[in-house]
Amino acid sequence: GAGVSQSPRYKVAKRGQDVALRCDPISGHVSLFWYQQALGQGPEFLTYFQNEAQLDKSGLPSDRFFAERPEGSVSTLKIQRTQQEDSAVYLCASTLQGGTDTQYFGPGTRLTVL
């Protein structure tokens, strides 16, 4: 594939709704990261996968956030019972192996919670 893709690009949710955000990494990339970027801030780490294993979820803001990558390729970030403070751009990045490899970012999903 050409690059990291994410869908949907934009999502508007009413407070309390559940949302699911999808990330398709570059084919063959082992490591996948999710970041959250609030307006005017730099991206902040949420969670990390190596293949299908979620090795770190320390950045997830609450237990309403859940991520999975069951077959080691596509990943889904799910947010339950969305709150206004969840409004942000959610970025997915992948690297070939991990470590200090360059991370390539997808276009992001802009989530607005009303």
Where does this chain bind another protein (CB under 8 A)?
31, 33, 35, 40-45, 48, 50, 55-56, 58-59, 89, 91, 93, 98-108
In degrees, to the nearest 5, what angle opens at C-alpha 57 toward C-alphas 52 and 58? 160
In degrees, to the nearest 5, what angle opens at C-alpha 34 toward C-alphas 1 and 8? 60
Least CB distance to another protein at residue 27 (A) = 19
Please state whether beta strands 75-79 and 88-95 pair in parallel, antiparallel, or not at all (unpaired): unpaired
CB nearer another protein, residue 58 or residue 84: 58
CB nearer another protein, residue 77 or residue 91: 91
CB nearer another protein, residue 17 or residue 61: 61
Phi, psi of 69 (to 5 degrees): -150, 65
CB neighbour list of residue 2: distance below 8 Å, 6 or more residues apart: none
Least CB distance to another protein at residue 92 (A) = 9
Least CB distance to another protein at residue 16 (A) = 27
